[in-house]
Structure 1
Amino acid sequence: MILDHLAVAGATLEEAVAHTEEALGIPLGPGGAHARYGTHNRLIGLEDGLYLEAIAIDPDARPQEQPRWFNLDRFEGPARLSNWILRSENLEAEKPLLPPHAHRHVAMQRGDLSWLMTVPADGLLPFANLFPAVLEWQAEPPAARLPQSGCRLRRLIVSHPEAAALQAALDRILSDPRVEVEPGAPAMMAEFATPHGTRLLR
């Protein structure tokens, strides 16, 4: 599997966008809505085939009858880097490599984009929501369509009290020197090279 994109969550999309733009010094582009989970987003293209999304619950969406992805039903506090997403070329075949709680996948669509994605039934990914979600694109990935921002991911640091167990689970699915796991309170931090120099997104 390979790194596909990062997600910044907020209590509102405006808060998530403002937090991302302030951290990187780059304006986000448009996005869209996800009817299945009642969320909406805005996107920015990164180098190396990655992208970044700001995401939040859409107040205009119909009430949900299922827990939302990324644990957004329980989101509180300031906007922050909340999730990271890997790409699989064959999610069904690679699901046995994932922790049991991340085995369930759903079919998603936004506009002409379609994909399969691991979303636990309660919306909470393993390791306090810090284990990556995994998707399989059924169409061209959005990163190929997005204008380049001039930002490149240098490091993604994932902190968790059970760092050794998290690292062991990740070793089964990912080999990426940019991703570092360290012991500590659950959190993520991404370091970017940007047109304005090195910037940190937490």
Structure 2
Amino acid sequence: MLDHIVLATPDVQATVDEIAAVTGVRAGLGGRFTQMGAYNHLLALQDGAYLEIIGPDPEHQGGGSMPFGLDPQSGRGAHIPHWCWKGNERIDELADAARTAGYDLGDVVPLGRDLPDGGRLDWRLTIGTWPPHLGGLIPFLIDWGDAPHPSTTAVQGVTLASWHGEHPDLDTVRAAHQVMGIEIDLREANEPALVATFQGPDGSITYR
């Protein structure tokens, strides 16, 4: 199942403001990835999924390797570079299946972030090389273990109105998804893309 959609942005607060202005719902602070110099805001979606708005942390001093290919100097605005699939207790099995099929998602490694209340949230996930396989159409995997899932603590009020992937070679994408048991609506297009529309009480907004 879909775990979360990644919305990468050079300015998290500006993107949070944009979404709030259109939907009427303001994403709440998720936490900080201190070593990477990044932080996120979250919005809960339906069916145990959530939206992660992630970008450079203005409070971070020093360097850090930005996740998801983020380059604040590129001039690119908020976009969806990647997405995450629930691996849970099968994460190692699914990662091995993908690797056997020719898609190395990277090792399953521990990661975590510092929470606003001073606590910490830890999980396991696959971290592969960038750019991701098939233009991001193959998701990375996550296992939350016993940790509370962010969809249960994030701000409510927004739903995922539509969600699909685009790619010029749908047969290849479908074959990869079948190996991993992944389901997502796919549409043929000239370039790979992930496209999501988020609906709130005041309106909807689409990112790709």
- Is the TM-score greater than 0.5? yes
Provide the secondary structure at the position in 1 that maps to 2:28: coil
Aligned to 2:186: 181
Alignment root-mean-square deviation, CA: 2.4
Matches within 5 A, 1:68-79: 68-73=66-71, 76-79=75-78
Superposed counterparts of 1:29-40, under 5 Å: 29-40=28-39
Matched pairs, number:
195
Q: TM-score scaled by structure 2?
A: 0.81
Tell me if structure 2 keeps the 8 A contact 1:81–1:188.
Answer: yes
Q: What's the secondary structure of 1:55's corresponding residue?
A: strand
Tell me the alpha carbon deviations over residues 5-49 of structure 1, each in whole angstroms, 9 at most, x when there is no partner: 111111222243234334534211112111242211111112221
SS at the partner of 2:77? coil
Render the CA deviation track for 1:143-172: whole Å, top value 9, x for unaligned: 1122321x2224311112222211221122
Instruction: Provide the residue aligned with 1:11 in structure 2.
Output: 10
TM-score normalised per structure 1 = 0.83
Instruction: Tell me the alpha carbon deviations over residues 150-198 of structure 1, each in whole angstroms, 9 at most, x when there is no partner.
Output: x22243111122222112211222354xx21122112221134432355
Cα 1:83–1:15 change in 2 (3 A) is farther
Question: Closer, same or farther in 2 for the Cα pair 1:165/1:101, shift >3 Å?
Answer: same
Instruction: Call closer, same or farther: CA 1:32–1:154 in 2, change over 3 Å.
Output: same
**Which stretches in structure 1 are left out of the alignment for 5+ residues?**
none
What do residues 110-153 of structure 1 show as CA deviations (whole Å, max 9, x unaligned)? 13211111111x3322112332121111312111122321x222
Matching residue within 114, 132, 139 for 1:125 = 132
Provide structure 2 residue ranges, at least 5 long, that are not aligned to the other structure: 115-119
Amino acid at match of 1:181: L
- Conservation of the 8 A alpha-carbon contact between 1:69 and 1:119: no
Question: Is the contact between residue 8 and residue 20 of structure 1 (CA under 8 Å) also seen in structure 2?
Answer: no
Q: Could you tell me how far apart the structure 2 residues matched to 1:14 and 1:58 are?
A: 10
- Structure 1 residue corresponding to 2:168, chosen from 129, 154, 161: 161
Distance 1:153 1:192, change over 3 A: same
Deviations 1:51-72 (A, max 9, x none): 11110122525313xx543222
Using a 3 Å threshold, how does the CA distance of structure 1 residues 119 and 9 change in structure 2: closer, same or farther?
A: same
Counterparts of 1:87 and 1:76, CA distance in 2: 32
For the Cα contact (< 8 Å) 1:156–1:190, is it kept in 2?
yes
Asked whether the equivalents of residues 37 and 69 of structure 1 are also in contact (C-alpha less than 8 Å), the reply is: yes
Equivalences for residues 67-146 of structure 1 within 5 A: 67-73=65-71, 76-90=75-89, 91-99=91-99, 100-111=103-114, 112-120=120-128, 122-138=129-145, 139-146=147-154
Superposed structure 1 runs of 4+ greater than 4 Å apart: 73-76
Q: Percent identity?
A: 25
Equivalent residue number for residue 62 of structure 2: 62
